[in-house]
Copies of this chain bind each other. A is one copy, B any other.
Amino acid sequence: MNPIPAPISPPSRVLLGPGPSDVAPSVLRALGTPTIGHLDPRFLSIMDEISAMQRVLFGTENELCIPMSGTGSAGMETLLVNLLEPGSRALVGVNGVFGTRMAEVARRSGAEVTVAEGEWGRAFTPDDLRRTANGGKFDVVCLVHAETSTGVAQDMKDMRAVADECGALLLLDTVTSLGGMAVKLDAWGVDAAYSGTQKCLSCPPGLAPVTFSPRAIKRLQSRSHPVQSWYLDLNLISSYWGGERAYHHTAPINMLFGLHEALRLALAEGLEARFSRHHQNGRALWAGLAAMGLELPVPRDERLAQLTVVRIPQGVDDDRVRGFLLEEFSLEIGGGLGPLKGQAWRIGLMGAASTRTNVTLVLSALAAALAEQGAAPAHGALAAAAAVYGEEG
């Protein structure tokens, strides 16, 4: 090959999209730590610490609490291929792209899938699900805690009762919630959940924390068919993460070094403080965007503080705005996903990127981008955001 490419030299970005988010310097350093073996006794203790820290973030005492060797979507597939098989029945709440994806992955796992259709941009109530369930029995009920495509937070109150009425395990997508808002799996009665590392944990993408309750493990152990994915088969993988340490696949050592540090930073900050920080910065962003006259389609009490969806004003060119932000400010925000493509922006304030500095930057830069298209926004965005920081708590 001629010429050989030059070494990478990516620009320094501010990542305020739907993920990946900015990664803390100590996590980057951990990633670059010299590799050791996946059966090295010193590595095994790092694995144990990762599991223990994940349990705190997930709000669970589940023994099986491990990062899968793939991105968040591999975490989704892990839950569904391990807990479903031909003949299984799944009830999936779909009010965004990731609910849609769960339904699709569940179908590919051989299950008969019943979709509870929800309004995109709104959360489900327990009764929404009951109407679709219609008294039927299911093996799993699947929900998305933080819909990355719509910016909606799903309240989990009473969802266990719905799952019980269905005779089902309760499965939850926490990709965009873990590390940015309270996740209390045991209190909510969730049987299995997955996440990703590149959102509110501020670790690069590449790992998927998952956890299974004892009840979910019992289901796994009583399957009639082998898990269709060998790579994601928790019967096999749990022997590596558990007592036996049996080799399954070579763990992604350096990514796990990074995750260890990212989890440590979250716990060192304190979960309550971390969630308050996300909430405060989210509210400040909302105040500033509203002051600019921009519309936030999600009702306030269903909004994710870590990912805000903003409607693109009539006549404004989506690509041109995002291109301007990237070129002039080296700032990334997200476009709309699925049906919202071209209709909305998604502004993330996740993990290390959730700061007052970034709120101020994105409001100022967005105002400049709109002005550049002659769509000069109303003034007062920074003052409105600042007022939030002046409030109590």
* Chain A residues at the B interface, C-beta cutoff of 8 Å: 1, 4-5, 7-8, 10-13, 15, 17, 19-20, 22-23, 26, 28-38, 40-43, 46, 49, 52-53, 55-56, 69-74, 76-77, 81, 101, 104-105, 108-109, 196, 198, 204-206, 226-231, 247-255, 257-258, 260-261, 264, 267-268, 326, 332, 337
Q: Are B23 and A35 in contact (CB under 8 A)?
A: yes
CB pair B37 A28 closer than 8 Å: no
- B231:A77 contact, CB within 8 angstroms: yes
Q: A20-B253, A204-B252, A250-B205 are in contact. Are A108 and B71 (CB under 8 A)?
A: no
Given A37-B332, A49-B5, A105-B230, also A254-B31 (CB < 8 A): yes
Question: Cβ of A205 and Cβ of B251 under 8 Å apart?
Answer: yes
Top 7 nearest A-B pairs (CB, nearest first) are A32-B32, A206-B252, A204-B254, A73-B249, A5-B49, A28-B32, A205-B250
Write out the residue numbers on chain B whose beta carbons fall within 8 Å of the beta carbon of A40.
10, 13, 326, 332
Q: In terms of DSSP, what is the predominant structure of the interface of chain A?
A: loop
> CB distance A35 to B230 under 8 Å?
no
A248 to B105, CA, bound (A): 13
Contacts of A4 in B (CB 8 A): 53, 264, 267-268
Does the CB pair A252–B13 fall under 8 Å? Answer: no
**B108 pairs with A230, CB closer than 8 A:** yes
Residues of B within 8 A of A249 (CB): 71-74
A339 to chain B, nearest CB (A): 14
Q: A230-B101, A250-B205 are in contact. Are A12 and B28 (CB under 8 A)?
A: no
CB of A250 within 8 A of CB of B28, answer no
By the criterion CB–CB under 8 Å, are B231 and A73 in contact? yes
State how many angstroms separate the Cβ of A58 from the closest Cβ of chain B.
12
A248 to B72, CA, bound (A): 11
Complex contacts, A55 vs chain B, CB 8 Å:
1
Write out the residue numbers on chain B whose beta carbons fall within 8 Å of the beta carbon of A41: 326
